[in-house]
C-alpha cells in the first residue's frame, strides 16, 4: 500500500514539474514583443522586476560592439526596399533577434545564449532559412555568413560574446573582477649561522709543549 502511495506522489510531482516548465516557456513566449518605431526596433521582454522591460535593439548591439570591437560586423548587406547598404543590420542584431524573437529564449542567462550559439555551430537546433532575421528585408539571406562568422570564433571569444550580451541586457549586473595581486616585499635573507668551534681535547704528551 505504501509503495503505491509513493508511486502516485512521484507521478504527480513529475506532472507538476512538467506543467510548470511549459507554463514558464509559454509565459515568456507570449510576453516577447518586437515592435518597430520608425527605423528603430524595440524589444519588449517579460519583466525581471515589477516594471516592464523594453530595449532598443540598436542600443544592445552597439554596447556589444563597444565591448568587443574585433567582433565581425557582417553589415554589408543591401536593404531590399531602399537599395542601400543597411549597416544597422549586423551580426549581433540578427543574433539577438533570432535568440529572442525566433527562439523565445531569455537574454539574461548564460545557458540560453550558449544554446543559441550552439545552433549557429550546428550542434543544437537547426537555424531556419526562411524565418532567419534579415531574410525578408535584405537582398541576400545572411544566415550562412553569420554561421561562418560564429564558427570562426574560438571558445574564449564565444564566452566573451555571451558575457557582453548578458551585460548589455542587464547593465546593473555586478561584474566578477579578479583582484590584481599586490606585490609583497621580499623577505630579508636569513643570516647564515656561524659554525661553532669546539676546542680539541688535550692529548697525551701535550704537556711537553708547555716546557720552556
Q: How many angstroms separate the CA atoms of 2 and 21, rounded?
A: 29
The answer to the question of residue 205 being in a domain is no
Q: What is the pLDDT of residue 54?
A: 82
Through-space distance between the first and last CA atoms of the chain, rounded to whole angstroms:
117
Q: What is the pLDDT of residue 73?
A: 98
pLDDT in tens, 25-71: 444 443 455 555 444 466 666 555 445 668 899 999 999 999 999 99
Q: What is the pLDDT of residue 208?
A: 55
Q: Total domain count for the chain?
A: 1
The answer to the question of residue 182 being in a domain is no
Distance of CA 22 to the CA centre of its chain: 25
Share of the chain above pLDDT 90, in %: 54
In terms of pLDDT, which residue wins out, 97 or 35? 97
Cβ neighbours of residue 161 under 8 Å, at least 6 residues apart?
Answer: 64, 68, 71, 113, 117, 153
The answer to the question of residue 126 being in a domain is yes
The answer to the question of residue 10 being in a domain is no
The answer to the question of residue 98 being in a domain is yes
Q: What is the pLDDT of residue 120?
A: 98
The answer to the question of residue 39 being in a domain is no
Q: What is the pLDDT of residue 65?
A: 98
**Using an 8 Å Cβ cutoff, are 105 and 116 in contact?**
yes
Q: What is the pLDDT of residue 131?
A: 96
For residue 135, is pLDDT > 90? yes
What is the span of the domain harbouring residue 105? 56-169
For residue 156, is pLDDT > 80? yes
Q: What average pLDDT does the segment 151-157 reach?
A: 97
Q: How many angstroms separate the CA atoms of 77 and 193, rounded?
A: 78
The answer to the question of residue 48 being in a domain is no
> How many residues appear in the chain?
212
The answer to the question of residue 26 being in a domain is no
Q: The whole model's pTM is what?
A: 0.64
Amino acid at each position: 500500500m505504501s509503495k503505491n502511495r509513493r508511486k502516485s506522489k512521484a507521478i504527480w510531482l513529475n506532472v507538476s514539474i512538467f506543467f510548470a516548465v511549459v507554463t514558464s516557456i509559454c509565459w515568456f513566449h507570449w510576453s516577447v514583443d518586437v515592435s518597430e518605431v520608425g527605423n528603430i526596433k524595440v524589444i519588449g521582454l517579460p519583466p525581471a522586476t515589477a516594471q516592464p522591460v523594453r530595449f532598443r535593439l540598436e542600443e544592445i548591439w552597439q554596447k556589444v560592439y563597444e565591448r568587443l570591437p574585433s567582433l565581425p560586423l557582417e553589415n554589408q548587406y543591401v536593404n531590399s526596399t531602399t537599395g542601400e547598404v543597411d549597416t544597422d543590420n549586423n551580426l549581433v542584431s540578427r543574433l539577438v533577434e533570432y535568440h529572442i524573437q525566433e527562439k523565445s529564449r531569455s537574454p539574461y542567462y548564460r545557458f540560453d545564449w550558449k544554446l543559441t550559439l550552439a545552433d549557429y555551430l550546428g550542434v543544437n537546433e537547426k537555424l531556419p532559412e526562411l524565418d532567419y532575421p534579415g531574410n525578408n528585408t535584405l537582398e541576400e539571406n545572411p544566415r550562412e555568413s553569420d554561421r561562418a562568422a560564429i564558427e570562426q570564433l574560438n571558445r574564449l571569444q564565444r564566452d566573451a560574446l555571451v558575457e557582453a550580451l548578458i551585460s548589455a541586457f542587464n547593465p546593473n549586473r555586478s561584474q566578477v573582477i579578479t583582484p590584481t595581486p599586490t606585490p609583497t616585499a621580499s623577505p630579508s635573507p636569513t643570516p647564515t649561522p656561524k659554525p661553532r668551534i669546539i676546542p680539541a681535547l688535550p692529548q697525551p704528551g701535550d704537556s711537553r709543549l708547555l716546557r720552556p
